[in-house]
Amino acid sequence: MIQQTVQSEVLKVLSDRRAVKQYKVGHQMPKEDLEQLLKSASETPSSWNLQHWKFLVIEDQAQKDRLLPIAYGQKQIVESTVVIAVLGDLEANKNAELVFGPAVKGGFMSKEVMDTLVDQINSAYQYPQLARDEAIRNGSLASMQLMIAAKAMGYDTCPMGGYDAAKFVEAFNVPARYVPVMLITVGLAASPARPSGRLSLDQITVKNTF
């Protein structure tokens, strides 16, 4: 019964999550809620567990005002409680020893295995396209988990790809190590998002092979 309840609640969160573009202006998110939201996003699975993301949290109204023209005047930027810019790490291979070190120290992984993994990762990261693909792929996974966590906590979100990434990087001093993945507005919906149409399973599913 407990398992069925959990399943029902999770599936409802997934079904209810929609992109909200009108927020209750002036709402303040408790620090504990923001930390929980980011912690939930940080628990996203990632390639080699390198955790290829950095979250730029934009709460200050003046900074949101500065972001508004970069996001082509979309008002959810300034009306939402917080904007979280999800950045993908192009140099996530540098996290390898930080990630695997505690496992070695705890006896869950041998030093030899760690060294082999680090060598494999660094070899793969010689290819810029792979680094970029992994940054965006894993940053996107973290973005989705953040939005699901927000909905479970009673907040609404809107993922945004409509902004000038080059101007964003310049205005917010984003280091060259990171590539913008998306902006996510978070807050309390002022009005419900309208349901959006979905293609049928027959239209999006292929079984076994084309």
Q: Among candidates 194, 197, 188, 201, which has minimal Cα distance to 18?
A: 194
Whether 132 and 93 have beta carbons less than 8 Å apart is answered as no
Per-residue pLDDT at 6 exceeds 80: no
Architecture of domain 22-191: 3-Layer(aba) Sandwich (3.40)
Average pLDDT over every residue of 86-115: 96
pLDDT at 7: 81
Whether residue 2 is predicted with pLDDT greater than 80 in this model: the reply is no
Residues 131-163 have pLDDT tens digits of 999 999 999 999 999 999 999 999 999 999 999
pLDDT band of residue 109 (cuts 50, 70, 90) is: very high
The residue ranges of every structural domain in the chain are 22-191
Confidence of residue 23 (pLDDT cuts 50, 70, 90): very high
Q: How many CB atoms lie within 10 A of CB 42?
A: 14
Rounded CA-CA distance 25/187 in Å is 9
Using pLDDT thresholds of 50, 70 and 90, give the confidence band for residue 10. Answer: confident
The CA distances from residue 5 to 8, 9, 11, 13, 40, in Å, are: 5, 6, 10, 12, 21
Mean pLDDT (the chain, rounded): 95
Q: What angle do CA 17, 166, 24 make, to 5 degrees?
A: 35
| Total Cβ atoms within 10 A of residue 100 | 22
Q: Tell me how far apart the alpha carbons of residues 78 and 81 are, in angstroms, rounded to a whole number.
A: 8
Q: What is the mean pLDDT of residues 7-24?
A: 88
What are the tens digits of pLDDT across the range 33-81?
999 999 999 999 999 999 999 999 999 999 999 999 999 999 999 999 9
Buried/exposed 65-96: b ≥16 CB within 10 Å, e otherwise: eebbebbeebebbbbbbbbbbbbbbbebbebb
pLDDT per residue over 183-209, tens digit each? 999 999 998 887 788 899 999 999 999
Q: What pLDDT does residue 198 have?
A: 87
Q: What is the pLDDT averaged over residues 71-97?
A: 97
